[in-house]
Chain A
Amino acid sequence: MVHHPHAAASARPDRPAAPAAISIRAVSKTYRTRDHGDVAALAATTVELGDGSFVALVGPSGCGKSTLLKILAGIQPQSEGEVLIHGRRAGEARGDVGVVLQSPVLFPWRSILQNVMLPVAILGLDRARYREEAMAMLGLVELQGFEGRYPRELSGGMQQRAAIARALVTDPRLLLMDEPFGALDAMTREHMNVELQRIWLEKRKTVLLITHSIPEAVFLADRVLVMSPRPGRILEDIAIDLPRPRAMSVMGGPEFGRHVTRIRDFFLTEGGIDG
């Protein structure tokens, strides 16, 4: 097992060096609040994500995971540092980033198809052409036949799958997911994990997945980044070399258990409570 003590930005010896899709250089965030003064949410963080890699980010609650994701998504600016997404700054990478949040965040007045088509409308792309793409994405998340329904007519898991289809419709190279399955029951969640792996194997996007579930991170990711409590920084960068496609049964295997235990130990020694 190759061990990288501090946020490896260097080329990894255990795999062919993929070109960095995302490079995060000394990025930090301090929220300026009226009532509580300055809140240091994210300490200077440097990390690179290889093109087409699946990276999971775990860490105690409130350590700055969502903050980092929002910076990458261009939702809010960093306080310091630089983010490059395929060579472009965060926020300028229009249409190159798909985002899935903890709740589906669908628009109730739009049908499922119209929801999936929202990024197409916003980017001013050819609707007729992308309509086919949207239908294909709905097929990919197994929602064919539901395109004319409204969000309220779908279950939570179905809504979340629609949200994934929406994130994929413009074929962005980077997929950012913030606890996308956190609100689902355990059974649906396991099913969604298998589905997500299938979609990823088919599409080979660069994925950054934030999760509170260590088994979920190990099951899905090539790399698990472990963050420290607030202000967050990356403590560990763990390669997961389990062969793919991974079946649910790998969770019972000894190697899987070793990874989970190792990551959990970080939480215990660093005082995080989750996991």
Chain B
Amino acid sequence: MTAIDRRQDGRPAAASPGQHRSRASEKARDIAVTLGFLVLTVGTWEVLVRALHLPDYVVPAPSQIAMALKRGLASGLYQRHLGVTVYAALMGFAIGSVVGIVLGAVIASFRFAELIVYPYVIMFKSMPKVALAPLFTLWFGLGIASKIVSSSILCFFPLLVNTIAGLRSADEDRISLMRSMGASKFQIFWYLRFPSALPYIMAGLELAVVLALIGTIVAEFVGAHAGLGTLIQIQNANMDGPGQFSVLILLSVVGLTMNVIVRRLKKWVLHWDVSAQGSDPNTQI
């Protein structure tokens, strides 16, 4: 939502200096409202925890969480685990997405491939893939491999399904036109089907970037030598409430960063697609 969307006061759209000032002050007021509410919430939380004498392993106070975050970062402990988790998630994201896009393209282009591969896709698609994590740990050990496999499996499906749907969405008239120009099957793919699929692929990537982190954390919960998921389990066993909350904050920052990067990428790739330009509400899990 930008300031322009809210201009329903019927004034002409011509920009005057006065209007610039009022727009800027509107924005400052918005930020003040948001920040004000945040301060209020955190303050209330702090006061309630202290007043009710809640044990910190159940609900820690914001100040305790901040201290835990500071300690973890100062010792370099958090960075070490963070690096492991982010690396695994990014690898899983990259591998799962690329394999999904390539296999999707093969299935959409060759009927033979569709006939032999698609039944398995349908079967696995509806399965909760995180349930495979214990098996991956068994097969690939407590190192990075089982996490990458787990997160790439999660990323694979949205990309596969969206790529197939996207490649098939190519407009019939555009196909006709390309045929009239004497385009080969590959040229129709390259100049038409693939660009037509890009909005679908970018939507798949937006889903996958969230799933990549989920896949990694689940694998770390099941068993791993290092990673933020492992850290949370250790802290949980040690009844370290502030520690767990501080890692959760770290995880949401990582998730948000990855999300923003993918959305930037989407806007850049789909610069020609008006519907991709809006600041869409983030409704994903």
Interface residues of A (CB under 8 A from B): 70, 73-75, 91, 94-95, 97, 99, 101, 103, 105, 107-110, 118-119, 121-123, 150, 152, 176
Contacts and interface: CB of A to CB of B under 8 A. Distances in A.
A91 B183 CA distance: 10
Given A97-B180, A119-B181, A122-B181, A150 B173 contact: no
Contacts of B274: 152
Nearest to B273: A108
Nearest to B192: A107
B23 interface: no
A73 B177 CA distance: 9
B27 interface: no
Interface string B161-192: 00000000001011011111111000100011
Q: In the complex, which range does the number of interface residues on chain B fall in? A: 10 to 19
Contact of B176 (A101, A107, A109): A101
B181 A118 contact: yes
Contacts of A121: 191
B139 interface: no
Given A119-B181, A122-B191, A150 B174 contact: no
Given A118-B191, A150-B272, A107 B174 contact: yes
A122 to B, nearest CB: 5
Contacts of A75: 176, 179-180
A260 to B, nearest CB: 30
Contacts of A119: 181
14 contacts: A70-B176, A74-B180, A74-B182, A99-B177, A101-B177, A103-B173, A107-B174, A118-B191, A119-B181, A122-B178, A123-B182, A150-B272, A152-B272, A176-B180
A109 B272 contact: yes
Interface string B266-285: 00000011100000000000
The 10 closest A-B pairs by CB, nearest first: A94-B182, A73-B180, A99-B180, A109-B272, A75-B176, A105-B173, A109-B195, A122-B181, A119-B181, A122-B183
Interface string B10-21: 000000000000
A109 B177 contact: no
A110 B171 CA distance: 15
A95 B181 CA distance: 6
A105 B177 contact: yes
B198 interface: yes
Given A107-B195, A109-B198, A122 B182 contact: yes
A33 B191 CA distance: 29
Interface of B: 171, 173-174, 176-183, 187, 191-192, 195, 198, 272-274
A109 B274 CA distance: 11
Contacts of B198: 109
B43 to A, nearest CB: 48
Contacts of A108: 272-273
Contacts of B183: 122
B191 A107 contact: yes
Contacts of A123: 181-182
Q: Residue among A101, A108, A121 with the most chain B CB within 10 A?
A: A108
A56 to B, nearest CB: 20
A101 B273 CA distance: 23
Given A122-B191, A150-B272, A152-B272, A105 B171 contact: yes
Contacts of B173: 101, 103, 105
B209 to A, nearest CB: 23
B140 to A, nearest CB: 40
Contacts of B180: 73-75, 97, 99, 176
Given A97-B180, A109-B195, 16 more contacts: A94-B182, A95-B181, A99-B177, A99-B181, A101-B173, A101-B176, A101-B177, A105-B173, A105-B177, A107-B191, A110-B272, A118-B191, A122-B182, A123-B182, A152-B274, A176-B180
Contacts of B187: 122
B182 A95 contact: yes
Contacts of B174: 105, 107
A43 B218 CA distance: 66
Nearest to A102: B173
B264 to A, nearest CB: 18
Nearest to B188: A122
Contacts of B273: 108-109
A122 B174 CA distance: 13
Nearest to B195: A109
A74 B179 contact: yes
A110 B176 CA distance: 18
Contacts of B178: 122
Nearest to A176: B180
Contacts of A110: 272
A94 B183 CA distance: 9
B118 to A, nearest CB: 21
A267 B176 CA distance: 30
